[in-house]
Amino acid sequence: MDIVEILKLYSEDVDKEISKTLSTLQPDTLREASEYLTEAGGKKIRPALAVLSCQAVGGSTDKALKAAASLELIHTFSLIHDDIMDNDDMRRGKPAVHKVWGEPLAILTGDTLFSKAYEILIRTVDDNVSYEKVIDSLYLLVDACIKICEGQVQDMSFEDTFDVTSEEYMEMIYNKTGALITVATSMGGIIGGATPEQIEVLRTYGKNVGLAFQIQDDYIDLTGDESIGKPVGSDLVEGKKTLMVVTALERASSEDRDRFVELLEAHDESIIPEAMDILNKYDAIEYAKDTAYNYIDEAKKAVDILPDSDARKSLCDLADYVLSRSI
């Protein structure tokens, strides 16, 4: 099966789990707001990573489905709270949760999905997964949640400075995005009965895929698709410190750097063409793309030592897919 079909397949299974766990929420407004973004789609990369990692070490799909759902719920919770904090209007082609129901309900909806993520992961004990494995998985999930918050605060702290190194940027995106993707693979491995060495391999794979994923996300913003509700180049208008921007700031001549800072401080769409020229002059976009490709290579190399299987092949395909996607 090709990777797009696999993503679709597990997406359906995971949506069923999510739909079941959210169906009991009361009052109706809270349930509707909680179901809203899940019903709006999403690529479901984290759930697929968990299921494939479980399979790649010989585990069965059904044992990993609740863990997969928990990862998607945490991801959705963080999107809802992020959209409030960034005051973003749109998400997955629809008005953001706080735009539909207001900020108070959006905060509570995020908190509810966060709780539901833990609930469903705890319930993995009902699928004949040992208490110890569930505790280990919970510990990984909570660690990723803390890192998501830390990464978000780091990202916010970058707003007021142009002295962000690419190392600081990489640490931030690891926390904000990479940690949960890393947990998806290691949790899948734990539930599938992986050896400590296999878990380490899956962790390495997940970390590299996660870093490439965020770089690609920022890359798509520069080149991407207006259909998802985000105008092309909006990160430049917001003055966001992406790997491209950080690289150009590090490489530019003093004169170009000053001009680039001026453009990023303008917060106006008219700066996009000139800012793009500076990014291109210092090969910043090419550098980011190369960096992402290197991470994907590392990811694929890491899983080489796992037994040959369809799941291992799909993990490699999924790594490639992360860079080929345009949304």
Which of 53, 76, 152, 198 touches its own copies (CB under 8 A)?
152
Q: Does 40 bind its own copies (CB under 8 A)?
A: no
SS3 state of residue 230: coil
SS3 state of residue 91: strand
Which of 18, 68, 84, 246 touches its own copies (CB under 8 A)?
84
- CB 155 within 8 Å of CB 35: no
- Please give the distance of CA 164 from its chain centroid, rounded to a whole number: 21
Question: CB of residue 160 vs its own copies: minimum separation in angstroms?
Answer: 12
Q: Does 127 bind its own copies (CB under 8 A)?
A: no
Nearer to its own copies, 161 or 254 (CB): 161
Cα(257)–Cα(87) distance, rounded to whole angstroms?
29
- Residue 94 φ/ψ, nearest 5 degrees: -125, 160
Taking CB atoms within 8 Å and a gap of at least 24, the contacts of 11-17 are 11/44, 11/47, 11/48, 13/51, 13/61, 13/65, 13/68, 14/44, 14/47, 14/65, 14/68, 14/69, 14/72, 15/44, 17/65, 17/66, 17/68, 17/69, 17/120
Q: Does 160 bind its own copies (CB under 8 A)?
A: no
Which of 1, 40, 85, 228 touches its own copies (CB under 8 A)?
85
Size of the site for its own copies (CB under 8 A): 42
- Residue 163 φ/ψ, nearest 5 degrees: -95, 60
Question: CB of residue 78 vs its own copies: minimum separation in angstroms?
Answer: 8
Q: Does 253 bind its own copies (CB under 8 A)?
A: no
By CB under 8 A, which span of 128-136, 244-252, 254-262, 267-275 interacts with its own copies?
128-136
Q: Does 135 bind its own copies (CB under 8 A)?
A: yes
Question: CB of residue 94 vs its own copies: minimum separation in angstroms?
Answer: 21
Nearer to its own copies, 147 or 203 (CB): 147
Cα(85)–Cα(103) distance, rounded to whole angstroms?
10
Residue with tokens 């919970």: 138
By CB under 8 A, which span of 48-56, 144-152, 178-186, 207-215 interacts with its own copies?
144-152
Beta bridge partners of 94: 91
By CB under 8 A, which span of 45-53, 135-143, 221-229, 244-252 interacts with its own copies?
135-143
Q: How many CB atoms lie within 10 A of CB 39?
A: 14
Q: Does 36 bind its own copies (CB under 8 A)?
A: no
Please list every residue from 182 through 241 that binds its own copies, using CB under 8 A.
Answer: none
Interface residues with its own copies (CB under 8 A) are 25-27, 29-30, 81, 84-85, 103-105, 107-108, 110-112, 114-116, 118-119, 122, 125, 130-132, 134-135, 138-139, 142-143, 145-146, 148-150, 152-154, 156-157
